[in-house]
Every structure is written in C-alpha cells, then in structure tokens.
C-alpha cells in the first residue's frame, strides 16, 4: 500500500499530500527538487548565521532577521524529515504493522 506523501509546500497554511501510484511521477520529482532547494537554503542561512553570530557588532535587526530565517529553514527541514521518514517506513513495508 502506498501512503500519501507529505509535500514540502502548503495550501492556505494546510498540509498538502500526494497519493500517487508512481513515486517517480512529475509531482513527486517536483517535490524532491523543492525539498533539495529548501535544504540547500537552510545550509546557506546556517552559514550566514554563524558568521553573523561571531560578529560582536551585529545589530539587533540583523540578529532578528537571522533568527526569523533560521526558524523558516528549521520548519522546512522538519517537514522534509517527516515526509522522508514516512516514506522510509513505506519502503521497509512497516506501514501495515502500524
């Protein structure tokens, strides 16, 4: 059985799922690409945040902006992890045991 896939975007703040018989279909590939882009952005923001946090003269607005971006990236990374974790369970055939 193929469980719906949690997609890396939302619609009006609600989670979006894909039920597809082909995990290599166009929407699945688009979701894979978006997840990779989100994780890449997270790596970039983390690198910039480390530099900023090492600067004793960093301003409050700079720190606040960085915290906001880090929060957004963490949200995205957690959603990617949740989606991929669910698919790992499917790959191992454990979804029927739940």
**Per-residue pLDDT tens digits for 16-46:** 999 988 878 999 999 999 999 999 999 999 9
Let me know if residue 97 belongs to a domain.
no
Let me know if residue 41 belongs to a domain.
yes
Let me know if residue 13 belongs to a domain.
yes
Please list, in sequence order, all residues whose beta carbon lies within 8 angstroms of the beta carbon of residue 10, skipping any fewer than 6 positions away. Answer: 16
Percent of the chain past pLDDT 70, that is, above it, reads 90
Instruction: Give, as one character, the DSSP assignment of residue 21.
Output: S
Let me know if residue 98 belongs to a domain.
no
Yes or no: say if 95 and 3 are a contact pair by the CB < 8 Å rule: yes
Mean pLDDT of 52-69: 98
Q: Can you tell me which residue has the tokens 């003269």?
A: 57
Let me know if residue 16 belongs to a domain.
yes
Question: For residues 42 and 29, what is the distance between their CA atoms, to the nearest angstrom?
Answer: 20
Is the pLDDT confidence value at 8 over 90?
A: yes
Let me know if residue 75 belongs to a domain.
yes
Let me know if residue 24 belongs to a domain.
yes
Question: For residues 57 and 39, what is the distance between their CA atoms, to the nearest angstrom?
Answer: 29
Note down the domain range covering 35.
Answer: 5-91
Give how many domains the chain has, as a whole number.
1
């Amino acid at each position: 059985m193929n469980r719906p896939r949690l997609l890396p975007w939302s619609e009006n703040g609600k989670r979006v799922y894909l039920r597809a018989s082909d995990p290599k279909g166009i929407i699945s590939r688009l979701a894979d690409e978006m997840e990779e882009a989100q994780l890449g952005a997270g790596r970039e923001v983390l690198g910039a945040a480390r530099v900023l946090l090492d600067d004793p003269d960093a301003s409050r607005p700079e720190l606040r902006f960085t915290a906001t971006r880090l929060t957004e990236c963490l949200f995205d990374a957690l959603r990617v992890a949740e989606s991929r974790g669910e698919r790992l369970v499917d790959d191992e055939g454990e979804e029927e045991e739940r």
